[in-house]
Amino acid sequence: MTLDAEREAIVEYAPQLAALTPGRTGNLSVRRGDAFAITPTGVPYDGFDAEDVPVVGLDGDVRAGRMKPSSEVPMHAGIYKRDGGDWEEPPATIVHTHSPWATAMATLRRPLPPIHYMIVAIGREVPVADYAPYGTEALADNVIAAMERADASAALLANHGLVVTGPDPETAMEHTRHVEDLCRLYIRTSSVGEPHELSPEQLATAEERFEGYGQQPGSNGE
């Protein structure tokens, strides 16, 4: 299995990582079956093509690709392997970034509270995963623990950055931008006063509307 479509998706979506943070930090993977395509290490996000993109098995073995994979392979593989892959809805995409506002929150080790209804796409808060060195499977364990604790599809990484999981690259990148925007909103409003949080009832209403949002017939989402 060469994961051609997944490698093409890496080429297509990786440049969006550069828009989130300067430099070459951050990485993106797209999984199919027991393997995933992931951004190569040490090259600009528009500096490779599909044949360069590494394909890595969930056990960490590099199966294809002309370039070396990201140093965060153990984190991506560990998250995909959670409970032996026993996810309610297994993620097909993981985005990791050091985007500035999310990384600021992660450095405060402060979870992102529900200050705006858009958060319900991810959960009722974005939790903070305990610190572990980059490039380790321990980091995956901490991310999984935080996401399970908060019932969220994303986690801030203490003193490091952000991880967002999703069903496909389009959604995961969009949710990454949401979290970054909401962290910016939280930090800006906190500089003036204490931002109000939405109540559980208000969040439940937002969740109902969110589930009906989109292209379904009869939907009147904004």
Is 90:80 a contact under the CB 8 Å cutoff?
A: yes
Distance CA 193, CA 212 (A): 34
Q: Which is nearer to Zn ion, 114 or 161 (CB)?
A: 161
Please give the radius of gyration of the chain, using alpha carbons only, rounded to the nearest integer.
17
* Residues of this chain, 161-190, that bind Zn ion according to CB under 5 A: 161
For Zn ion, which is the closer residue by CB, 65 or 161?
161
Angle at 163 between CA 106 and CA 20, to 5 degrees: 80
Question: Which of 70, 171 has the CB closer to Zn ion?
Answer: 70
Q: Is 72 a catalytic residue?
A: yes
Size of site (CB under 5 A) for Zn ion: 1
Q: How far is the CB of 25 from Zn ion (least distance, A)?
A: 6
Smallest separation (angstroms) from Zn ion to the CB of 98: 6
Q: Lay out the site mask for Zn ion across 83-122 (x = CB under 5 A, - = otherwise).
A: ----------------------------------------
Residue least distant from Zn ion (Cβ): 161
Backbone angles phi, psi at 25, to 5 degrees: -80, 160
Place of tokens 């360069």: 52
Q: Which stretch binds Zn ion (CB under 5 A): 8-16, 31-39, 117-125, 160-168?
A: 160-168
When the beta carbons of 98 and 116 are compared against Zn ion, the nearer one is: 98
Phi then psi for residue 170, to 5 deg, are -60, -50
- Which one is catalytic: 6, 8, 51, 72? 72
107 and 128 in contact (C-beta within 8 Å)? Answer: no
Shortest Å distance, C-beta 173 to Zn ion: 16
Nearest by Cα to 114 from 105, 104, 126: 126
Q: Which is nearer to Zn ion, 93 or 198 (CB)?
A: 93
CA distances from 70 to 12, 135, 202 (A): 17, 9, 40
Kindly indicate which of the ranges 16-24, 78-86, 155-163, 169-177 contains the residues binding Zn ion, using the contact rule CB under 5 A: 155-163
Nearest C-alpha neighbor of 26 from the set 80, 88, 103, 82: 103
Contact predicate 146/154, CB 8 Å: no
* Smallest distance, Zn ion to C-beta of residue 134, A: 5
Which residues of the shown chain bind Zn ion in the complex (CB under 5 A)? 161
Catalytically annotated residues: 72
